Amino acid sequence: MARHNARNERIKRRYFTYLREALGFSEATLDGIAKALHRFETFTAFRDFKTFDA
Amino acid sequence: MRRRLNPQRVKVDEISERLRVHPNTVRSWFGRGLPKIDDERPTIVYGQDLFDFLDDLRRRSKQACPPGYLYCVKCRVPRWPAGDMVDYVPLSPKSGNLRGICPVCDRMMYRRISLTKVDQLRALLDVAIPEGERRINESRQPSVNCESGDGDQTHGQA
């Protein structure tokens, strides 16, 4: 089973930079968001975010 | 400085800054088994992979010293001291350093030992306890690591 998706990791990295630098979120908040995103990714079996169908 | 490493995904310069090592050191880890998340730039490492790699690196480089052996830092192996002779240099009332000479490279080897265990060691080695060995050391040893960070410790800013 996949443990992470490289393309998703890059998107998440940019998103965290945005949250930290533009919105001023703390590291603890980012950890919480990362945890929630990871939970979502586990559910989708680490499929690419591109395939997300809103 | 924040020493905490966010266990997510980190770039080479972020790793080197937080672990206080040279960026080239981090790059050399890729050749020694640190996995990247993919081959694109900037190079990104999964945080848990980095923790696992560093733990593994530390475990691999550890070597057990059998009784009587001292670890030679130059040869990077435990060695039997030359001439079966070691000195006991007390560092505190209860413990001190064993000091011997490496039979291969002639450099000093040290090993921390409890004073109560020195007598057991006498069965294996000739342990001498030199007197009046301590002297005043006038100069600080300058660090040879040019990248070691702490700017307030350099001569220029003193």
Q: Are B98 and B70 in contact (CB under 8 A)?
A: yes
pLDDT at B157: 47
**Percent of residues, chain A, with pLDDT higher than 70:** 94
Higher-scoring residue by pLDDT: A24, B138? A24
The answer on pLDDT for A36 being more than 90 is yes
3 state SS of B142: coil
State the complex-level ipTM: 0.74
A9 and chain B: CB distance < 8 Å anywhere?
A: yes
Say if the Cβ atoms of B46 and A27 lie within 8 Å: no
CA distances from B63 to B58, B59, B83 (A): 10, 9, 23
pLDDT at A18: 94
Say if the Cβ atoms of A31 and B44 lie within 8 Å: no
pLDDT at B4: 47
Q: Are B139 and B133 in contact (CB under 8 A)?
A: no
A31 and chain B: CB distance < 8 Å anywhere?
A: yes
pLDDT at B143: 66
Considering only CB atoms, B37 lies closest to which of A6, A16, A30, namely A6
Chain B residues touching A10 at Cβ < 8 A: 9, 37, 40, 44
User: How many other C-beta atoms are found inside a 10 Å radius of the C-beta of residue B15?
Assistant: 22
Q: Which among B9, B10, B52 is the top mutation candidate for probing chain A, defined by the most A β-carbons within 10 Å of its own β-carbon?
A: B9
User: pLDDT tens, B81-123?
Assistant: 988 888 888 888 888 888 889 998 888 899 988 888 888 888 8
Chain B residues touching A25 at Cβ < 8 A: none
3 state SS of A27: helix
Point out the residues of chain B with pLDDT beneath 50: 1-5, 7, 154, 157-158
pLDDT at B151: 54
Q: Tell me the average pLDDT across A24-44.
A: 92
